[in-house]
Amino acid sequence: MKNFDFDSWIESNKHIYDAFEKEALKIAKRRDRYSARTIVEFLRHHTMISEQSGEWKINDHCIPYLSRMFANNHPRYSNLFEFRKMN
């Protein structure tokens, strides 16, 4: 994951964060904890959303960054996801 440049990725893929955020907010109103990976898998398999460029519909490497971005943008729900130390 060291080679993943989230700052560049998010510039052209903000729509993915927006969809992630929408789903996470729905879940946060009903659950105390949830999996960010499950949200991304839902977006992959049940929506037409995909990255602007790249070989993946939604790259797995973005998941920890999406969840941290969500926690920063929504401090009320900052404990929704469990965070591990990133290298």
Q: What is the average pLDDT score of the chain?
A: 91
Segment 27-41 mean pLDDT: 97
| Cα separation of the two ends of the chain | 8
Q: How far is CA 34 from the centre of its chain?
A: 12
- How many degrees, rounded to 5, is the angle at CA 72 between CA 23 and CA 12? 65
Give the tokens for residue 65. Answer: 């960054």
Evaluate if residue 6 carries a pLDDT over 70.
Answer: yes
Q: What is the reported pLDDT for 54?
A: 65
* Chain Cα centroid distance, residue 3: 18
pLDDT mean over 28-35: 97
Under 8 Å between Cβ of 27 and 39: yes
State how far Cα 51 lies from the chain centre: 12
pTM: 0.89
